[in-house]
Amino acid sequence: MESYAIETKNVTRSFAGSVVVQDLNLRVRRGSIYGFLGRNGAGKTTTIKMLAGLIWPDSGEIKVNGVAPSQFTVEDRWKIGYVSERQILNPFLRVSALIKFTAGFYPHWDFAACERILQRFKIDPSKRIKSLSQGTARQVAFLLALAQKPDVLILDEPAANLDVVARREFLDEVLDLLRQDGKTVLFSSHILSDVERVADEIGIIAQGRLKISESLDRLKETVRKVRFHAFEKGVNGFVIPDAFQFSKTRDEVLATLRVEDETSLRALASSHRCQYEIIPLNLEDIFVEIVREPKD
Partner 1 sequence: MNAKTPFWPLLKSEMSYSMFGGKAQTCFMLLCAWFVAGAMPLVLLRFELQILFQSGILAIVIFMFVLWMTTFVSMALVPGCADLLPPGPDSGQVNHGLGGLGFIFTRAADRRIFFRARSAAVFLFALTPLFLNVAASPLAREVHTGALSDSRYSQAFPDMNHGIIPYGAIAYTGWLAWSATALFLFLQAYGALIANRVKPNNKWTGIFPAMPLIVLFVSFIAWNKIIARAHVSFGEDSFLFFAMHPGEMVIALMALAVVVQIWSERRFSKLEIL
Smallest distance, Å, CB 80 to partner 1? Answer: 8
Which of 113, 25, 18 lies closest to 61, judged by CA?
25
Smallest distance, Å, CB 87 to partner 1? Answer: 7
Q: Which residues bind partner 1 (CB under 8 A)?
A: 15, 49, 52-56, 73-75, 77-78, 80, 82, 84, 86-93, 101-102, 104-107, 130, 148
d(CA 272, CA 279): 19
Q: Which residue, 88 or 112, has its beta carbon nearer to partner 1?
A: 88
Smallest distance, Å, CB 137 to partner 1? Answer: 11
Helix (H/G/I), strand (E/B), else coil: 243: coil
Q: Which residue, 82 or 170, has its beta carbon nearer to partner 1?
A: 82
Q: Which DSSP helix (H) or strand (E) runs through 254?
A: strand 252-258
Q: Which residue, 52 or 235, has its beta carbon nearer to partner 1?
A: 52
Q: Are 9 and 53 in contact (CB under 8 A)?
A: no
Smallest distance, Å, CB 26 to partner 1? Answer: 19
Q: Length of the chain, please?
A: 296
Q: Which DSSP helix (H) or strand (E) runs through 282?
A: none
Q: Which residue, 65 or 256, has its beta carbon nearer to partner 1?
A: 65
Q: Which residue, 39 or 100, has its beta carbon nearer to partner 1?
A: 100
Q: Which residue, 134 or 282, has its beta carbon nearer to partner 1?
A: 134
d(CA 111, CA 146): 10
**3-state helix/strand/coil string of 15-45:** ECCEEEEEEECCEEECCCEEEEEECCCCCHH
Smallest distance, Å, CB 105 to partner 1? Answer: 4
DSSP letters, 51-104, are HHTSS--SEEEEEETTB-GGG--HHHHHTEEEE-TT----TTSBHHHHHHHHHT
Smallest distance, Å, CB 83 to partner 1? Answer: 9
Smallest distance, Å, CB 1 to partner 1? Answer: 18
Helical residues (DSSP H) of 122-261, grouped into ranges: 134-147, 164-179, 192-198, 216-222
d(CA 178, CA 186): 11
Smallest distance, Å, CB 88 to partner 1? Answer: 4
Q: Which residue, 70 or 264, has its beta carbon nearer to partner 1?
A: 70
Number of C-alpha atoms within 13 angstroms, CB side, residue 204?
20
Q: Which residue, 152 or 253, has its beta carbon nearer to partner 1?
A: 152
Mention every residue, 6+ apart, whose C-beta is less than 8 A from residue 129. 89, 90, 91, 92, 93, 94, 95, 98, 137, 140
